[in-house]
Amino acid sequence: MHPNLANAALFRGADPRDVAELCDSLVSQRFDSGEVIFEQGEHGEFLYIIVNGKVKIGSSADDGRENLFHILGPSDMFGELAILDSGPRISSARALTDVEAVAMDREVLRAWMAPRPEVAEQLMRVLARQLRRMTSSRTDLVFNDAPGRVAKLLLRLAQRFGVQRDGSVLVDHDLTQDEIAQLVGSSRETVNKVLNDFTHRGWIELRSKGLLISDTERLARRAQV
């Protein structure tokens, strides 16, 4: 069993032998960068756990505009709501990079949870964290300015995808500035100005689809966290 599967939040507290047996039975799938995994409004049959790669979760307006909600990475789960309530997908999922994931259908999930109440409790915790994150994002849109929201996003990306390097944090986030703008509820032009300002202040260094955070303390103060 891949360690990124063993670390999935859904399996915390479960017997590792049971987890290994379940994971061996799951269907492994690969998605190319940019490939749609599922679309908003579709009937959902599977939840997914990421083994390798990054996935972006968002929705689309009728005029084609995109709105990103989350960027997910190894060990993260997505697509669970539609198989829990049998409703349509409320968001779309697209591979941000090449992705390897495993898929679990509704019946397998129910059979897995039935004798294991601790798994159902863990799933509730995962959903509660998602709700808290959504509430926090909405609050930021009201009470935090664009530079503060960008700073907060960069810190979240650093926490999730960052690697310590000589006192700094290297973050390979694989996002365009337009995608960053969607995540913080701003325009690409504003995000570009904010990132250039942070660079001028010496807080970050921009890289292709990534950045190096040199001063997390000042970035955190700007993010008001």
- Break the chain down into helix, strand, coil percent, rounded to 5: 45, 25, 30
| Tokens read off for 26 | 């799951």
CA distance 67 to 57: 9
What pLDDT is stored for residue 77 in this prediction?
A: 94
What pLDDT is stored for residue 84 in this prediction?
A: 83
- Which domains, and CATH codes, for the chain? 3-140 (2.60.120.10), 145-223 (1.10.10.10)
CA distance 126 to 75: 12
What pLDDT is stored for residue 31 in this prediction?
A: 98
CA distance 19 to 22: 5
Bridge partner residues of 163 (DSSP): 170
What pLDDT is stored for residue 146 in this prediction?
A: 96
What pLDDT is stored for residue 225 in this prediction?
A: 62
Which residues of the chain, if any, have pLDDT below 70? Answer: 64, 225
Per-residue pLDDT tens over the stretch 137-181: 888 887 889 999 999 999 999 999 999 999 999 999 999 999 999
What pLDDT is stored for residue 134 in this prediction?
A: 83
